[in-house]
Structure 1
Amino acid sequence: MHPDLASYDTVVSDLDGTLWIDDTPLPGAVGLLDSFRRRGARICLATNASVATSAQLRAGLTRAGLAAPGDVLVTAADALGAQARELGIHEVAAIGEAGLFDALARHGVRAVPGDEVWRSWSSTPSGRAVAMGLAPDTDIRTLGRVAMLLERGLPLLVTTTEVAYPTREGLSGGTGMALAALAARVAVDPIICGKPSSPFLTALRPHVAGRVLMIGDTVAADVELAAAAGWDSLLVLTGTSADQHTDWPRATFVTPDLLTIGAR
């Protein structure tokens, strides 16, 4: 069974493994989004990615033909920045790339590299935390130093616990792998800010209306977000779910690729 494209007022779509891989659109992605726009649906692009800034990500999506004027982009880094501000956090020791640092700055949170403050932050006054996004080049020494900060009682905010994300070469290690390494050293109880968390849903809520369809390639992030929000979900077997074999009982619809849907 396929979704009735005309019945949705808002489409929320994941990016990596769903619409594109390594900035290259997947077959059918551009045409499907255009078909929703022609029907008057609003488009919200929602990602757990945190390496590129929102401006860089939007520029890449526009070049790829996946973003149009009026589309909304919500990232896990933005959701983390908003959650930090909501919790009264004004300064974080961060593990991440430009996307995380940029989002924190836009939400009025000062971010410093975690391995630069592990000595000087000997106390843990209120208003400080550790923030973690995807940082592929993070080494064990940096994780060990951040673990020392967590041992001092700092809260930990993370963009996602996903252990992998799709690339042309296959699944690459995600933020969840670094989080698991931290957990091997110190007890962690992270505040998750990406899909399918409450902070991410809070960031999305102002941009959705009416009947909503969530499109994604991950059961744990995309399908579960839709289930929590009461939306329909379309699971695409082109990313992290490509090699899984199950009946995906919580997905409303399942399709091998977006060409199948867009051809309708």
Structure 2
Amino acid sequence: MAVEVEEKSGGAPRRQKVQSAQIATDILKGLADLSPSTSLSKLAQHLGMPASKVHRYLQALIASDFAEQDPATGHYCLGREALFVGMAAVRSLDVAREALPKLIELRDEFNETCFLALWGNQGPSVIHVEKPARAITVVTQVGSVLPLLSSSTGLVFSAYLPKADTQPLLEQELETPMAPSADKLEQQLTHIRSQGMHAVHGLLMSGVNALSAPIFSAGNTLAGVITMVGAEPSFNAELTGPHAIKLQAAANAITQRMNGEMPGSP
């Protein structure tokens, strides 16, 4: 991944090969755009570069763990180092800095899995998880992308994000056999907005309940969603229960710290 730069010393140009950060960055962005994985030809087409050139750069990125290739499919994806850098950048955001202490408080009080999700190019993406201190836990992984219609997190994003952001992904999920009609979905999203949070009982996974609440930044912009997940029957996912009350209080506190306000608040 080298680019040639020309330096002048004593009036004579001197060529020195250095690594092309720009091209490597473009390829990493392309892998992110086409995540979770893509073929060499699709990546080259997306970037507008010759496949042979993209392949050379990919080999260098793989060698440094910034990219990976699936031996079964031959497809490429972001590597461990790229994910590490990405997560570090995400955690530097205001919403993550403000949310993490509250997630720890919720985890400590209820001994349940608590996580923060932000909106990514593929939908709601889990960027931080606080796991409970117990042998058996509800597994939620950092980097997981959650569905919009079959998770409490996704439904809260669907309720509060502009339709332009969610419509392409919603249209795909609405085509699945178990999806609600467009009218029923709109009724559900209206109900979520009226409640200010959402609870599900075994929707994404049988026997697992979840509560999700939105976080807002200045301008009433949805900044993220915090979620608490637990197994039946110990986890109370009722909107009037203690878990919901504390989760909503945490979301409100984070929103206040972000200079935000729940839409419709007086």
TM-score (norm 2): 0.28
More helix by share: 2
Higher relative contact order (CA 8 A, sep 6+): 1
So what's the TM-score if we normalise by structure 1?
Answer: 0.28
Greater C-alpha Rg: 2
